[in-house]
Amino acid sequence: MDDELLKLKNPRIERAGRPGRLHQAGWLLARLVAAFLFLSVFMVVVYRFVPVPVTLTMIFDPNGITKEWVPLSKIDRNMVDAAIAGEDGKFCQHHGFDQEAILKAWERNQEGGRIRGGSTISQQTAKNVFLWQGGGYVRKALEAWFTVLIETIWGKRRIMEVYLNVAETGIGTYGVEAGAQRYYNKPAAQLSRVEAARIAAAFPQPKVRAVTGATGFTRRHGNVIARRVNTVRADYDTCVYQ
For the chain, which residues make up each domain, given as ranges? Answer: 1-47, 53-235
Closest CA to 200 of 238, 231, 227: 227
What are the strands, taking DSSP E only, across the chain? 66-67, 168-170, 173-174
Fold of 53-235: Penicillin binding protein transpeptidase fold (1.10.3810)
Among the residue ranges 1-10, 97-106, 119-128, 197-206, the one predicted with the least confidence is 1-10
Q: Who wins on pLDDT, 105 or 93?
A: 93
DSSP states of 38-69 as a string? HHHHHHHHHHTTS-----HHHHT-TT--EE--
pLDDT of residue 113: 52
pLDDT at 155 (0 to 100): 96
pLDDT, tens digit, for every residue of 199-220?
A: 999 999 999 998 988 888 889 9
Cβ atoms 122, 159 nearer than 8 A: yes
Lowest mean pLDDT among 17-21, 82-86, 160-164, 223-227: 17-21
- Among 27-31, 37-41, 100-104, name the one with the lowest average pLDDT: 100-104
Residue 99 — very low, low, confident or very high, per pLDDT cuts 50/70/90?
confident
How many H helices and E strands in the chain? 11, 3
State yes or no: pLDDT of 5 exceeds 70: no
The answer to whether residue 16 scores a pLDDT higher than 70 is no
pLDDT tens readout for residues 30-49: 999 999 999 999 999 999 99
1 pLDDT more than 60:
no
HSE toward the beta carbon, residue 122, CA cutoff 13 A: 26
pLDDT over 90, % of the chain: 72
pLDDT digits 0-9 by tens, 116-129: 557 999 999 999 99
Those residues whose C-beta lies under 8 Å from the C-beta of residue 102, and which sit 6 or more positions away, are 118
Q: How many residues does the chain have?
A: 242
Bigger pLDDT: 115 vs 100: 100
